[in-house]
Amino acid sequence: MLTRWNNIFAQDQTHPLAVFDEWNRQLNQLFHENRNPRVWKTFSTQGPAFRLYDESDRLVLLAEVPGMTEEQLSLSANADGMTISGNMEQQAPEGYTAQRQERPSISFSRSFNFP
């Protein structure tokens, strides 16, 4: 008498674990095939990274704002804290059309309370 052996690793869609094949395909599409920066912007922090630390006689705020000039930043402070904001529009030079733009326009505002 011959007994048929079923390979649990075969691509049989009736197998109970076959649903994971579709999940795997969708995750691969999300993380590997889609390289559109607009998609990944939704997963970012929507602004620059900051570091605030105390040097005993002063507070120091470091902001990572690549490509921004001093004129594009605004800083206001009072007795309780401070707010830093910025706006940078990415535009191609006049008379030119951008063929690829990997750095999006950015606008942010962050407030920090003093310790």
Q: Is 56 helix (H, G, I), strand (E, B) or coil?
A: coil
The pLDDT score that the predictor gives to residue 66 is 81
Q: Could you tell me the fold of the domain covering 46-92+103-113? A: Immunoglobulin-like (2.60.40)
Structure tokens, 101 = 């733009």
Give the list of residues 6+ apart from residue 41 with CB closer than 8 angstroms, or none. 104
Which pTM was predicted?
A: 0.52
pLDDT at position 90, please? 81
Q: What is the pLDDT of residues 58-101, one digit of tens each?
A: 888 898 888 888 999 999 999 899 999 999 888 888 999 888 87
Q: What is the pLDDT of residues 13-43, one digit of tens each?
A: 566 777 778 788 787 777 765 555 554 454 4
List the domain boundaries for the chain: 11-44, 46-92+103-113
Token pair for 24 = 């795997």
Amino acid at 50: F
State the pLDDT at residue 75: 93
At 51, phi and psi to the nearest 5? -135, 125
